[in-house]
Structure 1
Amino acid sequence: MEKLFLFQNNILQNIPVEFKRYLYEQVPFESRLVGIRGIRGVGKTTLLLQYLKTQSLATSLYITADHPWFYQHSLLETAEEWHKQGGRLLVIDEVHKYANWSSELKNIYDGLPTMRVLFTASSALDIYRGEADLSRRALSFTLHGMSFREYLSLYQIADFPVFSLHQLLTNHQLLAMQIMERLESPLVYFKKYLQTGYLPLGIQTTSAQEYSTRTFRLIDAVLGFDLAFLHDYSASHQSKIRRLLGILADAVPYIPNIQELATTLQVSRNTVLMWLQHLEQGAIIRNIHKEGHGTSMLQKPDKIVLENTNFNYVLGQNPNEGTLRETFIANQLSNAGHHLFLADQGDFIVNNQFILEVGGKNKKKKQISGLSDAWVVKDNIEMGYTNVVPMWLFGFLY
């Protein structure tokens, strides 16, 4: 196992510890089996390695499922050998790249009760629906892209606490004033965040163009490797899914005509619906439904947006401001754990309670007139008033 130890030591030397993602404080690392899902480049590996650096390396081991070691060794026998050598913590990166991940994790959990296992996986992987039943064993968490608050912290612009949606809606003027006492021109940073701030890989790039190129490659890898591997897509299906994403990227926010898409792509209606769900599981798009509508695989979404605003810039030439606004609000609220639906009056209904109407600084209140628990969310304003809230403040929810 010497190769694995050397690999671990090399990896740990370059792991920063100053900035930790929001999920770090939420994960119960002492549990026996914990999985972290998320899109490529979001920081899953860094999060687990930051934790590993707090542990005794005499009893902790990091491995990645695509390491050449596994050409000749199984995951289970590796865990068993490490356990014999006194190992009590095994960190497995990109477990979805290992063919029998689910059954072998189950066997490790059942057969090595003193071994803790932490693992990362693609956002498209349903940890609870593998070959073996992990629902009673594994705790699963999703690491989303960065909030605007995290972006400010990563780039050492300013550090701010998280505040709840209730705090935001009821006390937004005071919160905005407190933030602006330490952050001049929040809108300047916010515009940069919308374009290049969602993934922490931006800290490693020197320009918006480089960030865009790396993000495009990331999206392509999700389509060509993660989704293709997990769902056994043929080369023809991969090509058609890329075409589907191209159609969506040009039209978002998109009110889907499923039959029209099926005809264009020369596949069945159910296949299109399945691909839309796969793209959402892969954190490429977000399918939004009207309140009361089903959200099963074969239920048509009522609106489709890209998962985050950075993707709008990567996949489109000049993203529409209205599109960016809807995408940002849907992204930040969903990532913070809120339930989001399309509203009959206004744009979104959140947690079956709050109505939000999203627009630019000239947006009027007429769409939500007469409604209680209703707010206008305005872009391009620093301060709000009464039930008018600056859009950038929604970036502090996680």
Structure 2
Amino acid sequence: MIARALAPTLLEELQHSNKIIILYGSRQVGKTTLINDLIQKLNYKTLKVNADSGEDLSVLSSRSPEALKRFIGEADLLFIDEAQRITDIGINLKIIHDTMPEKRVIVTGSSSLDLANRISEPLTGRTWTYTLFPISFREWLEHNQISSGLNIAKLEGLMLFGSYPEAITLEGTQRKVQYLNELKQAYLYKDVLALGNIRYPEKLNQLVQLLAYQMGQFVSIQELAKSLKVNRDTINNYIDLLEKGFVLFRLGGFSRNLRKEMTKMNKIYFYDLGVRNAVINDFSPIHLRKDKGSLWENFLIAERKKHLSYTLQFANTYFWNTHTGAEIDYVEEMGGYLNGFEFKWNPKKYRNSYAPWQNAYPESRYQCITPEQVLDFI
């Protein structure tokens, strides 16, 4: 089992806090495995509920303190898996927290889409919320006991097949590709389709394909709407659903109101590159790919996102572009500091954008991240 960076934090909360723990993350990312491992370490008497199975859901929707007390009984810990399936889950968790404060409760959801809406108001001040991502590069390195001398071939493998736990542990390219295609077909859109009330699922699939080809580029909502023959609001809604379903995420442009800076369009990145490559059915080796620069950029930004989340660091994140062509791939604003990063898979093709960035923001820091500097960044 690959040790997860979030485990110590969750273990600490379950031992010393009575707040309800909400753990988000896409399907197959390892949420249930992680929680079951923590349960074994804690040795609490535990009641497990899988909301996907359809059992016991009526009690957890009952709004009855007496029924909930009878249901939980002598259990010290209540674990509800895929809680977005349960009607009125927020109200019932509030009742459990307020009437049985000695009980520990942990809830998982594979979509923040519906669960967050159901629990945000009833559980104000009663929760700690975390997100579990596909295996981080740091977790992978520690599992393989690699502290230096990174093998570029292994890094390329993560950029091609992603870092879902099973994609990492399966042997052979064919099995990895087979798994990712199964993941794409069976799980990728499951909660988005179920909870988003999507009328045209084929348009959602086409949109994801278009976004996969535009990964790391400017995304025009108007052009996407024209290509798919739907309106702008539909495109915006679908992208929002895909973001809340942990398929992809957006990065906005950084600006402090300089007229030459571009901020109106977003860039799109995928939480997992294996999923992205499955969407476009391209698992060609890195040295043969025209999109290797975009893959490297997406890999680093997604890994940085994991690192910030697991270390409880809160940053504003952007890209930076000007109408004259100057650009910074990734900008991070945190703790009063402004940091600009460029990402280059091939250092020989490095084009220094430091001068225009420094001229615009002389107080900022700057760094170029190549495979040799990857450990400094993530």
- How many residues align? The count is 337
Greater mean alpha carbon deviation, residues 26-35 or residues 196-205: 196-205
Mapping 1:28-107, distance limit 5 Å? 28-30=13-15, 31-32=17-18, 33-56=20-43, 59-70=45-56, 73-74=59-60, 79-84=68-73, 86-107=74-95
The residue type equivalent to 1:377 in the other structure is I
Distance 2:253 2:296 in 1: 18
Structure 1 gaps of 5+ residues are 1-15, 161-178, 294-298, 383-389
The residue type equivalent to 1:378 in the other structure is T
Distance 1:45 1:95 in 2: 12
Deviation, 1:81, is 2.2
Distance 2:50 2:295 in 1: 36
* DSSP 3-state at the match of 2:254: coil
Distance 2:57 2:272 in 1: 37
* DSSP 3-state at the match of 1:104: helix
Asked whether the 8 Å contact 1:35–1:138 carries over to 2, the reply is yes
Distance 2:94 2:255 in 1: 37
Asked whether the 8 Å contact 1:290–1:342 carries over to 2, the reply is yes
* Change in CA separation of 1:187 and 1:79 when aligned onto 2, cut-off 3 Å: farther
Match of 1:114 among 87, 102, 106: 102
The TM-score with structure 2 as length reference comes to 0.80
Which residue of structure 2 aligns with residue 374 of structure 1?
A: 366
Asked whether the 8 Å contact 1:128–1:134 carries over to 2, the reply is no
Distance 1:233 1:263 in 2: 19
Asked whether the 8 Å contact 1:94–1:122 carries over to 2, the reply is yes
Match of 1:152 among 122, 135, 141: 141
The residue type equivalent to 1:93 in the other structure is D
Distance 2:87 2:173 in 1: 37
* DSSP 3-state at the match of 2:152: helix
The TM-score with structure 1 as length reference comes to 0.76
Asked whether the 8 Å contact 1:365–1:376 carries over to 2, the reply is no
Which residue of structure 2 aligns with residue 307 of structure 1?
A: 271
Correspondence 1:342 to 2:319: yes
* Change in CA separation of 1:366 and 1:98 when aligned onto 2, cut-off 3 Å: same
Distance 1:254 1:391 in 2: 22
* Change in CA separation of 1:392 and 1:322 when aligned onto 2, cut-off 3 Å: farther
Deviation, 1:376, is 1.6
Distance 1:99 1:309 in 2: 33
* Change in CA separation of 1:83 and 1:304 when aligned onto 2, cut-off 3 Å: closer
Asked whether the 8 Å contact 1:258–1:272 carries over to 2, the reply is yes
* Change in CA separation of 1:122 and 1:301 when aligned onto 2, cut-off 3 Å: farther
Which residue of structure 2 aligns with residue 22 of structure 1?
A: 5
Deviation, 1:80, is 2.1
Asked whether the 8 Å contact 1:363–1:378 carries over to 2, the reply is no
Match of 1:218 among 167, 183, 188: 183
Distance 1:270 1:26 in 2: 39
Which residue of structure 2 aligns with residue 258 of structure 1?
A: 221
Deviation, 1:82, is 3.9
The residue type equivalent to 1:158 in the other structure is Q
Which residue of structure 2 aligns with residue 165 of structure 1?
A: none
Which residue of structure 2 aligns with residue 330 of structure 1?
A: 301
* Change in CA separation of 1:333 and 1:224 when aligned onto 2, cut-off 3 Å: closer
* DSSP 3-state at the match of 1:214: helix
Distance 1:253 1:63 in 2: 39
- Identical-residue share of aligned pairs (%): 23
Asked whether the 8 Å contact 2:21–2:105 carries over to 1, the reply is yes
Asked whether the 8 Å contact 1:349–1:355 carries over to 2, the reply is yes
Asked whether the 8 Å contact 2:184–2:279 carries over to 1, the reply is no
* Change in CA separation of 1:373 and 1:203 when aligned onto 2, cut-off 3 Å: closer
Deviation, 1:323, is 0.9
The residue type equivalent to 1:195 in the other structure is L
Asked whether the 8 Å contact 1:124–1:278 carries over to 2, the reply is no
* DSSP 3-state at the match of 1:120: strand
Asked whether the 8 Å contact 1:227–1:282 carries over to 2, the reply is yes
Which residue of structure 1 aligns with residue 374 of structure 2?
A: 391
* DSSP 3-state at the match of 1:343: strand
Distance 2:92 2:230 in 1: 36
Q: Deviations over 1:114-134 (max 9, x none)?
A: 221111101433654316522
Distance 2:72 2:350 in 1: 64
Distance 1:204 1:376 in 2: 31
Mapping 1:348-363, distance limit 5 Å? 348-351=330-333, 353-359=338-344, 360-363=346-349
Asked whether the 8 Å contact 2:167–2:180 carries over to 1, the reply is no
Q: Deviations over 1:317-340 (max 9, x none)?
A: 245111111101211122222432
The residue type equivalent to 2:342 in the other structure is E
* Change in CA separation of 1:301 and 1:308 when aligned onto 2, cut-off 3 Å: farther
Correspondence 1:133 to 2:104: no
* Change in CA separation of 1:53 and 1:253 when aligned onto 2, cut-off 3 Å: same
Deviation, 1:233, is 2.1
Correspondence 1:240 to 2:203: yes
* DSSP 3-state at the match of 2:7: helix
Distance 2:181 2:316 in 1: 28
Which residue of structure 1 aligns with residue 239 of structure 2?
A: 276
* Change in CA separation of 1:311 and 1:393 when aligned onto 2, cut-off 3 Å: farther
Which residue of structure 2 aligns with residue 10 of structure 1?
A: none
Distance 1:96 1:369 in 2: 49
Which residue of structure 2 aligns with residue 296 of structure 1?
A: none
Which residue of structure 2 aligns with residue 143 of structure 1?
A: 132
Asked whether the 8 Å contact 2:79–2:107 carries over to 1, the reply is yes
RMSD: 2.7
Deviation, 1:255, is 1.6
